[in-house]
Amino acid sequence: MSETQSGQATDAIRHADILIIGGGLSGAMLAAQLMRLPGQRQVLVIEPRAELGRGEAYSALELGHTLNGNAARMSVDPDNADDLTQWLTEFIAAGGWPESDEQHVPISELFPPRGMFGLYVQQRLAEAKVAGLVIGSTVEHVRAEVVDLQTEAQAVRLTLSDGQRLQGTFAVLATGMFPAARTPQTESSGLNAAALDPWDVAAMQQLDPQSTVLIIGSGLTMVDAVVSLEQAGHRGPIEVFSRHGLLPHVRRQPPAWVDFLAEDHSIRTPRQLLRELRRHCREAIAQGIDWQAPLDTVRAHIGRLWHQATDVQRRQFVRHVRPWWESHHHRSPPLSAEMVERLHGEGRLRIQAASFQGLEPSTNGEVSIRIRRRGEAHTTMVSGAALINSSGIEYDWRRVARPLPQQLLARGLIRPGPLALGIAAEVDGAVLDAEGRPAERLFAMGPPLRGMWWESTAVTDVASQAKSLAARLATPRPV
């Protein structure tokens, strides 16, 4: 795939039909869908990383950092649920992943390393690029960061970090996720400056193997951090602090269950959903069936339920249900879960329900933080050789101290989404400006639409959105 490297500033403006801002999973899948549609179009994907298709999620190269869903759940082809399984079958047959034998399950039930999944995305994009060339469409990777965006009556203009300027008929915000551990924030607590990257195994290898490590957050990023520490040779205590002290459940492969939400559209509120879901889970357990079976049927309906809910209902869900929803729904891959359970059983890993209150000065080379344990009024100081921020994803764009989100907000081109989750948009992805007016030429997809659909980060969500948005951009409405 051709790539434009960062160069010197120029007064020339490059033109394209579609400008995709972000080249992770969202941007790569949108480009792939556009290449397969009739008609000629030039697409530029602006992404500062050296490769497209990886983004934050799939840049990890350690084999221990795996997907949290099995192959049958992670196809990037919305028309073929077995696409990843088929790709893995060929990849393994060619000797690409000999360690897969250790999982002792069918290929469809394997949990591939995230770096390997990135290869799969790249290959599907490369195949789409070849298909596009046949009909005269092209995709080009522009390696830079978008620092400003302006809309005009007939075009969108971008300014890049290297001084380049691009102009397109449409632009798409496919910025992916902003991991809290790697995202500068407008109101910083200094946590990231003092913390290790959860995926930086090399940095963890510099620690005293027997030292104490502190982790803020107990979700899937924490699981990754523990895997990183193990691979780095760390053997000391690990202290984990999160508000509710909940761990992700392990992902299992339950049998099919009746899709009760498809049969009963009277269920509309979070309270109604929880009541009915609990009833089905109790019924499943009484029949000797895994409770994850009823829960997994809910996944396909979350977008509809969230979108039709009122803001009051959404707030109730976020405040009272979200921690349990995250721990039960966003589950850990089996091998990682086994590691966490083993360390917990050995007493090396401790989970405490406590909130992070801030950093404390330290003069002995350690990192000290102040926490407040759940149910206690006073705070406590704890120290360790290292600190890891595993608090998940930053969805509030007002807190993201990166040039493009700040400029879009300052220009009034975007507005926060419901509950300040991502940004607001129409059902077709057209971004809403500060006054609530839909843009004609600026769209969004994937994680930025978290507030619209709640679950807008999973591979299948992104793949489905990419297909729909590509069709919308390929057949623009009359002006």
Instruction: Give Cβ neighbours of residue 398 (< 8 Å, ≥ 6 apart).
Output: 186, 405, 409, 416, 420
Report d(CA 399, CA 178) in Å as an integer. 10
Q: What is the mean pLDDT of the chain?
A: 92
Residue 317: pLDDT over 60: yes
**Dihedral sign for Cα atoms in the order 444, 176, 469, 396:** negative
pLDDT, tens digit, for every residue of 444-457?
999 999 999 988 88
Burial (CB < 10 A; 0-12, 13-18, 19+), residue 364, is exposed
Give the architecture (CATH level 2) of 181-249+331-389: 3-Layer(bba) Sandwich (3.50)
Contact 429, 443 (CB under 8 A): yes
Indicate whether 112 pLDDT > 80.
yes
pLDDT of residue 185: 85
Query: What is the C-alpha R_g of the chain?
Result: 23
Confidence at 476, pLDDT banded by 50, 70, 90: low
Note whether 244 and 353 are within 8 A (CB): yes
Per-residue pLDDT tens digits for 344-365? 999 999 999 999 999 998 878 8
Q: Which pLDDT score is estimated for 295? A: 94
Non-local CB neighbours of 322 within 8 Å, separated by 6+ positions: none
Phi–psi pair at 181, nearest 5 degrees? -70, -20
Q: State the pLDDT confidence band at 417, using cuts at 50, 70 and 90.
A: very high
104 burial type by CB count under 10 A (0-12 exposed, 13-18 middle, 19+ buried): exposed
Pull the structure tokens for residue 168: 């397109």
Q: What is the mean pLDDT of residues 51-72?
A: 91
For residues 388 and 227, the answer to whether their CB atoms sit within 8 Å is no
Predicted pLDDT at 477: 62
The alpha carbon of 373 is separated from its chain's Cα centroid by a whole number of angstroms, namely: 29
Average pLDDT over residues 408-417: 97
Residue 157 neighbours by CB under 8 Å, 6+ apart: 13, 149, 150, 151, 165, 166, 167
Task: Please say whether the dihedral angle defined by the alpha carbons of residues 65, 388, 453 and 321, taken in this order, is positive or negative.
Answer: positive
Least confident of 59-63, 151-155, 256-260: 59-63
The domain spans of the chain are 3-65+113-178+395-474, 181-249+331-389, 260-329
What pLDDT is attached to residue 478? 53
What percent of the chain has a predicted confidence (pLDDT) above 70? 97
pLDDT at 200 over 90: yes
What order do you get walking across the sheet with 213-216 strand by strand?
A: 380-384, 367-373, 349-360, 238-242, 213-216, 386-389
How far does CA 210 lie from the centroid of its chain? 32
The amino acid sitting at 66 is T
Tell me: pLDDT of 6 over 50. Answer: no
pLDDT (tens digit per residue) in 242-292: 999 999 999 998 999 999 999 888 888 888 888 999 999 999 999 999 999
Beta carbons within 10 angstroms of residue 187's beta carbon: 7
Secondary-structure percent of the chain, ordered helix, strand, coil, rounded to 5: 40, 20, 40
Least Cα distance to 125 among 56, 43, 59 occurs for: 43
pLDDT over 70 at 3, yes or no: no
Give the number of other Cβ atoms within 10 Å of residue 168's Cβ. 21
Per-residue confidence (pLDDT) for residue 292, from 0 to 100: 96
Please give the pLDDT value at position 16: 97
Spatial distance between the Cα atoms of 120 and 102, rounded to a whole number of angstroms: 21
Say which residues have a Cβ less than 8 Å from residue 332's Cβ, sequence separation at least 6: 68, 220, 223, 247, 248, 249, 250, 251, 340
Give me the pLDDT at residue 11, please: 64
Q: Is the confidence at residue 479, as pLDDT, over 80?
A: no
How buried is 427 (Cβ within 10 angstroms: 0-12 exposed, 13-18 middle, 19+ buried)? Answer: exposed
Q: Mean pLDDT over residues 39-54, rounded?
A: 96
Second-level CATH architecture of 3-65+113-178+395-474? 3-Layer(bba) Sandwich (3.50)
User: For strand 367-373 and strand 349-360, is the pairing parallel, antiparallel, or unpaired?
Assistant: antiparallel
Contact 201, 227 (CB under 8 A): no
Intrachain domains 3-65+113-178+395-474 and 181-249+331-389 with the same fold: yes
Q: Determine which helix (DSSP H) or strand (DSSP E) holds 222, and give its type and residue range.
A: helix 220-231
Q: Are 144 and 49 in contact (CB under 8 A)?
A: no
Q: What is the pLDDT of residues 155-183, one digit of tens each?
A: 999 999 999 999 999 999 999 999 988 88
Residue 437's pLDDT is what? 97
Paired with 373 in beta bridges are 354
Q: CB–CB of 96/146 below 8 Å?
A: no
pLDDT at 10 over 60: no
3-state secondary structure of 432: strand
Q: Residue 361, class by beta-carbon neighbours within 10 Å (0-12 exposed, 13-18 middle, 19+ buried)?
A: exposed
Distance CA 152, CA 97 (A): 49
Which residues on neighbouring strands pair with residue 66, listed in sequence order?
A: 113
Question: In this structure, what are the phi and psi dihedrals at residue 226, rounded to the nearest 5 degrees?
Answer: -65, -40
pLDDT of the residue at 9: 47
